[in-house]
Amino acid sequence: MRLVVVGRVAVSLALGSVLMTGCARFDDSASSPFTPEPTLHGANIDPKKPSQSPTSTTRPSGPCIDPDPAVVATCLDTTGGLVSIGDSALVAERRTGRILEVAPETEPTEFARVDVDGSGDGGLSDLVLSPTYQDDGLIYAYITTPSDNRVIRIAPGGGPPKDILTGIPKGPTGNHGAIEFATPNQMLVLTGDAGNPGNAASPSSLAGKLLRVNSPAPGATAEVALSGIGVAGDVCRDSKDSVWITDRTAVEDRLQRMGADGAVTTAWTWPDRPGVAGCAAASDGVAISLTKAKALAIAAADPTTHAVTSAPTMIAQDKYGQLGGATVGADGTIWVGTVNKTDGQPGPNDDRVVRIPPPQAGGNGPD
């Protein structure tokens, strides 16, 4: 497996304040409407408010310059996961294996590249920073190889990536996966069913599961936290130690929640199967990217019971096409990547990374 590291990113990770609740509406009395998940290394830096609204800037024209000021990066290949690093983000290109740093008003720069099998829905699915990224610069990635799906660790300065968890079954479909740290010493790995629903029910298969990997290092093993995953969407953690999981089954799309005690409940289902994908969590809600519905869904959760009792609010529908990965930026906006080149009808500047402000109290967010 080949890895090319092109640069090193200076990072300012944010520890956000809380998101206020309110019937699928988010209170605008806080300094940011939707603030980042806490980092695990103990930083306590308030997120910066954007100096101006993403929609208040006059944009130049030209190739690969989108007229919409909310668009951060353009002319990318189909995106995978993305992760916020202060005022910028790292975004994966699923089929090429490139990891790019993107920021407003800045040309994307290649941070690293890994060899992947990008056929079907495989490739470079997701990224997560090491809990001690500011010290070690390590990035973990979920990838598809010619033989399997696996989690790898990428170090700065070049050199081959290290295999962390291998042998996750590969199939013609169902190869997408996601990763997140639950604690500094435990990684969660969400795996698809490799195109075979039987894998999700089989205790001997790593496919179709939410896995716990303790002390994620080369040669790590996994234990099953949750079975029955269909097409894997994403896994994200909020400041109250809730873990949110999105996946698609043959009969419905789901948002599930795993509490700090390991108990799992179904928070919301979509029988119309809008294509749940990436998620970005705050203390009292979660944002879910939708591919088929071409929108961002905002699900408000009760601050005590964590239950989602109202239908998620749909924002930015049909504005950017099909959405994939999601993360919360330091400015409180939700950064999403589009997946129009392989699954939709791409526009001249696709694929893109976009900042979407969540809805404010009394409003529905951007049209």
DSSP conformational letter for 41: S
What residue ranges do the domains of the chain occupy? Answer: 3-356
Closest C-alpha to 38, from 284, 303, 179, 238: 238
285-290 and 106-114: which strand pairing? unpaired
Q: What is the pLDDT of residue 62?
A: 62
* pTM score of the predicted model: 0.85
pLDDT, position 366: 53
Q: Would you call 208 exposed, middle or buried from its count of C-beta atoms within 10 A (0-12, 13-18, 19+)? A: buried
Please tell me the distance from the alpha carbon of residue 309 to that of residue 350, in angstroms, as a whole number. 35
pLDDT along the chain (367 residues), means of 10: 43 30 28 42 32 44 84 97 95 97 94 95 97 96 98 91 98 97 96 97 97 96 97 93 95 96 95 98 89 96 88 96 95 94 88 90 49
Phi-psi region of 98 (alpha: psi -120 to 50; beta: other; left: phi over 0): beta
Bridge partner list, 128 = 140
CATH 2.120.10.30 fits 3-356, yes or no: yes
What is the C-alpha R_g of the chain?
18
Residue 54: its pLDDT value, please?
Answer: 43
* pLDDT at residue 1 in the model: 53
**Tokens at residue 40, please?**
């695990």
Residue located via tokens 């089929």? 95
Position 159 scores a pLDDT of: 83
Rounded Cα–Cα distance for residues 54 and 289 (Å): 19
Count of other CB atoms within 10 angstroms of residue 317: 16
Predicted confidence at residue 211, as pLDDT, reads: 98
Give me the pLDDT at residue 60, please.
Answer: 53
